[in-house]
């Protein structure tokens, strides 16, 4: 499975948002700076994620992007499919293959697709984020 650059950017951005969700909405510029991704391309990716219900956005001085659902309810599969479209390994079968060969390959590829989809749907964004650091409180005696 090869991910496009846009999908890689989407995963990095959503992981950044999951990690920093306690800060509220993050601007595209902030996400781009923290992840070292190109701002202009990242902006397009974020718009796609909003359009597919993975992210929400707000405008204004305190505006930015945030996860539409908690990180423990958002899977890698959802993020990938928001950018790539439905994951289906059988779609890779081209017209160059004889129809008999395509028929032989179709069932094994359907099994691979189902297994991959199932695995990716169980991996949640929250699995990659650390809880915010706690401040040390000094106790005076």
The CATH number linked to 36 is: 1.10.10.10
d(CA 33, CA 43): 12
Instruction: Write down the pLDDT at residue 87.
Output: 80
Q: Is the dihedral of CA 21, 22, 27, 31 positive or negative?
A: negative
Range of the domain at 34: 5-128
The count of structural domains within the chain is 1
pLDDT on residue 140: 58
Predicted local confidence at residue 133, as pLDDT = 56
Model pLDDT, residue 98: 74
* Nearest-angstrom CA–CA distance, 62 and 120: 33
Structure tokens at 41: 């391309």
Distance (Å, whole) CA 77 – CA 121: 5
Q: What is the pLDDT of residue 109?
A: 84
Quick one: pLDDT at residue 132? 56
Residue 61 lies in a domain: yes
Q: Using one digit for the tens of pLDDT, what is the confidence trace for 17-35? A: 999 988 889 999 999 999 9
Q: Report if residue 67 sits inside a domain.
A: yes
Using 50 as the pLDDT threshold, list the residues of the chain that sit under it: none
Residue 135 counted as domain residue? no
How far is it, in rounded angstroms, from Cα 141 to Cα 81? 56
- The answer to whether position 12 is within a domain reads yes
Token pair in block for residue 65: 């992007």
Percent of the chain exceeding pLDDT 90 equals: 61
- Residue 68 belongs to a domain: yes
| Residue 141 located in a structural domain | no
Does 134 fall in a domain? no
């Amino acid at each position: 499975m090869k991910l496009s650059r846009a999908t890689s950017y989407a995963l990095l951005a959503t992981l950044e948002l999951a990690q920093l969700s306690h800060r509220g909405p993050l601007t595209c510029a902030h996400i781009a700076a923290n992840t070292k991704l190109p701002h202009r391309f990242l902006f397009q990716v974020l718009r796609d994620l909003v359009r597919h219900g993975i992210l929400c956005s707000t405008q204004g001085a305190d505006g930015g992007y945030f996860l539409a659902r908690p990180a423990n309810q958002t899977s890698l599969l959802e993020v990938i499919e928001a950018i790539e479209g439905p994951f289906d390994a059988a779609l890779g079968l081209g017209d160059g293959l004889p129809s008999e060969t395509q028929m032989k390959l179709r069932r094994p590829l359907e099994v691979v697709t189902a297994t991959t989809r199932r695995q990716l749907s169980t991996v949640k964004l929250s699995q990659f984020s650390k809880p915010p650091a706690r401040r040390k409180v000094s106790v005076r005696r």
